[in-house]
Amino acid sequence: MTDNPEISLLRSDPETGTTTIMRQTEITRNTLETQVSVSLNLDGTGQSRFATGVPFLEHMLEQVARHGLIDLDIAAQGDLHIDAHHTVEDIGISFGQALNRALGDKQGIRRYGQAYVPLDEALSRAVVDLSGRPGLSFNVDFTRATVGAFDLDLVREFFQGLTNHALITLHIDNLRGENAHHQAETVFKAFGRALRMAVETDPRAAGGVPSTKGLL
């Protein structure tokens, strides 16, 4: 995957003599149901901007950006006159595609990440492996079906699209929670935290690929 030289940009700081990798990418995905564009910087500061027409999802994605220290700009035009299903799923797919591209050849990364995040009575855990293989284990029993106008079934759809196209293994467990907004928010925050750990460079790994296969 080193054929994407435009994606991982090296930024040199002449004052300190250090070189920083900026793993960023932009993708656009158009189908008859949705048009989605994602701009993503894995080495960002947690800034985000959204125009998707799905405010609850934006509130959740803002958590991923902030707690993952990922810069994320997502615009989507979907068939919201039907419902939010296609839009949410396709944002997950596009986010996954961008994540996979921005990771490049995965040299020097930690690969694994995990996080527990509480919010009042709710507690969720996310465990991620940037394995190159798609796999989702999603264990969340929401205490109600919707938050405002948002159908909470779509949380799983989002993460299924994401893992399928990011080619990552992701285990999500909501361990407890009474308030469904809290349940969802801890899931997204934990995912952001786990992702941040997994994509970070490992100073002891000396730029190698963290697999005995030499390839992820």
For residues 89 to 128, the per-residue mask of contacts with Mn ion, x marking binding by CB under 5 A and - elsewhere, is ----------------------------------------
- Minimum CB distance to Mn ion smaller for 162 or for 180: 180
- Minimum CB distance to Mn ion smaller for 147 or for 168: 147
- Minimum CB distance to Mn ion smaller for 90 or for 185: 185
The span of 25-33, 137-145, 150-158, 180-188 binding Mn ion (CB under 5 A) equals 180-188
* Burial of 116: CB neighbours in 10 Å, binned 0-12, 13-18, 19+: middle
Residues counted in the chain: 216
**Closest distance between Mn ion and the C-beta of residue 144, in Å?**
15
**Closest distance between Mn ion and the C-beta of residue 68, in Å?**
16
The one-character DSSP state at 185 is H
Residue nearest to Mn ion (CB): 185
State the Cα–Cα distance between residues 188 and 166, nearest whole angstrom. 16
In DSSP notation, 7-35 reads: TEEEEEETTTTEEEEEEEEEEEEE-SSEE
Torsion angle (degrees, nearest 10) of CA 127, 129, 130, 135: -90
* Residues that contact Mn ion, how many (by CB under 5 A): 1
**Closest distance between Mn ion and the C-beta of residue 159, in Å?**
18
CB neighbours of 47 closer than 8 A, spacing ≥ 6? Answer: 65, 71, 72
The span of 26-34, 95-103, 138-146, 177-185 binding Mn ion (CB under 5 A) equals 177-185
The one-character DSSP state at 152 is T
Strand segments (E) across 79-168: 112-119, 122-129, 135-139, 146-147, 150-151
The span of 147-155, 178-186, 192-200, 206-214 binding Mn ion (CB under 5 A) equals 178-186
- Minimum CB distance to Mn ion smaller for 71 or for 185: 185
Q: How many other CB atoms sit within 10 Å of the CB of residue 21?
A: 15
**Closest distance between Mn ion and the C-beta of residue 62, in Å?**
9
- Minimum CB distance to Mn ion smaller for 129 or for 185: 185
- Minimum CB distance to Mn ion smaller for 172 or for 198: 172
State the Cα–Cα distance between residues 177 and 158, nearest whole angstrom. 20
Residue numbers of the site for Mn ion (CB under 5 A)? 185
